Structure formats: C-alpha cells, structure tokens
Amino acid sequence: MMKTFAELNFPGRLIAVEGLDGSGKSTQIYLLKRWLEAEGIKVYFSEWNSSELVKSATSKGKKRELLTPTTFSLIHATDFADRYERHLLPLLRAGYVVLCDRYIFTAFARDVTRGCPPDWVRGIYNFAALPDIVFFFKADLEVSLNRILEGRPKLKFFEAGMDLRLSADPYESFRIFQGRILEQYLAMAGEFKFMVMDANQHVEKQQALVRKIVGERINLARFRRRRPLPLPPPLPPDNKAKETEEDLAA
C-alpha cells in the first residue's frame, strides 16, 4: 500500500494539485506558493514535464507528432523520476513544503485514457510516495475550454487529444478527451483521498478554502524559516537616479 511522505516520516510535506487543462489549478498553486512565502515558510515549487533531462525530446516528439501512447507515458515517467530523485526528495528531507503542479495522478488519468493498461502505468510510478494533500480542481468542460482559449487562438494537438482521432474538430476532440480524463480522475478521488474543489467558483473563494485546508492539515509553524529571506541587492546609483527621474515624470 502506498504511503504519504508524512507516513514515511519525511520532515517535509508535499502538496499536489490536479485537474483538467484550464481548470485553474496552476493559478491556485501559484497563489498558495506566494502566501506560504509571505508567511515565511520554506517552500519549493515543481511542475509536470519540466525536467531538463527529457524536455527537448518531448518537445521534438510533439512537434513531429511521433509519440505513441506508450512512448508518451515512458517519457513523462522519466521526467518525473528525474525530478523526484534530484529535487523533490532532497527538499522533503530538508524540511520543505513542496508544491507540485500535477503529480503521478496526471499519468494515471492521461495515459489510461490514451489506452495504456492501468496496472502497467501505476507500476512504472510505484517508486513514488503519495502527497500529503491532493487538491483536485473540478471544472466544467466549457469553463476549461474557455479559459484555455482566452490566451491563445487555438488548442494544441496533444492537448485536444487529436492523436487519438476522436474527432476531426479539435474543440469536439478536446471535450471528448478531457471528459474521459475527468472520469479517470473522479474514479481515483476516493482511493487517493482527493480534496475535490469546485473550480467554477471565483479564484479568491477557492484560494481561501485551499489556505484553510493547508493550515488545518499541516502544522506550518514547523516549516518557518529561522531567518527571513535576504532582501534583493540595492540598485546601482545610475539605476536609482533613473528610477527617481521616471517617478517624477510619471
């Protein structure tokens, strides 16, 4: 049976956020990070598919549309294993609160939706401990789609699940693909004790609840820095003068 980092007696704690693309989870974990930093907590942030070891390979494979579901799964597992061993574990041993924008549950949901056997997917991640808190941001598909399209004109190929040939229309493909991923997430919610959040609510309301849950579940006083973070170095004299001139001119 998989255990959390607290159950494994790690000094640190790990909080993960999960959700569909466009659910607002990245915004929520960013706000949580800023709040913890302001509270003087030792905090570290990590995101899915960000290891320098495999980032270029993933990018090339996506551009040429060469990645099969199995290849996709193995590349992401390699990425996660590299970050887990080189970043997450050392900081958890050092007593940090580690924040993860997506964790192994992203693979469990996406890879199975793409056709990989569930037992096989879980097996390649069996080295990883469970987060101490998992927030799952549940948003309506239309809300997620609108949020994604706000910042760019069209959906990305893999993001819309176009590799699965679900529909020739990328927007319909997105709805089908993300709908299937949502089913996988909801099936995991009870098993892994997700904190299911209403991602259709206002950002501020969601964040207030996130902070409340974190404060109740984790003794944050244990993770405060003994010394405050150092102030940034002063600007050189020329920059100070320039900054003053700009202030006066404004």
Q: Find out whether 118 and 107 touch, Cβ atoms under 8 Å.
A: no
* pLDDT for the residue numbered 53: 67
Alpha helices (runs of H) in the chain, residue ranges in sequence order:
25-38, 55-63, 69-83, 89-93, 104-113, 118-124, 141-150, 170-189, 203-217, 237-249
Segment among 108-117, 147-156, 210-219, 237-246 with least mean pLDDT = 237-246
Look at strands 97-101 and 195-198 and give their pairing: unpaired
Give CA–CA dist 27/33, Å, rounded.
Answer: 10
Which helix (H) or strand (E) segment is 101 a member of?
A: strand 97-101
Average confidence (pLDDT) over 222-226: 91
* pLDDT of 202 over the 60 cut: yes
Q: pLDDT band at 195, cuts 50/70/90? A: very high
Average confidence (pLDDT) over 174-195: 94
Segment among 27-31, 46-50, 107-111, 205-209 with least mean pLDDT = 46-50
Give CA–CA dist 162/104, Å, rounded.
Answer: 23
Token pair, residue 39, equals: 């509270």
Give CA–CA dist 158/178, Å, rounded.
Answer: 11
Q: pLDDT band at 182, cuts 50/70/90? A: very high
HSE (side-chain half, CA atoms, 13 Å) at 60: 5
CATH homologous superfamily of domain 13-249? P-loop containing nucleotide triphosphate hydrolases (3.40.50.300)
* pLDDT for the residue numbered 45: 97
More confident residue, 206 or 229: 206
Average confidence (pLDDT) over 141-170: 84
Distances (CA, A) of 26 to 16, 19, 32, 135, 226: 10, 9, 10, 11, 29
* pLDDT of 239 over the 50 cut: no
Token pair, residue 7, equals: 């159950």
pLDDT (tens digit per residue) in 128-147: 999 999 999 999 888 888 88
Average confidence (pLDDT) over 18-38: 95
Give CA–CA dist 8/10, Å, rounded.
Answer: 6
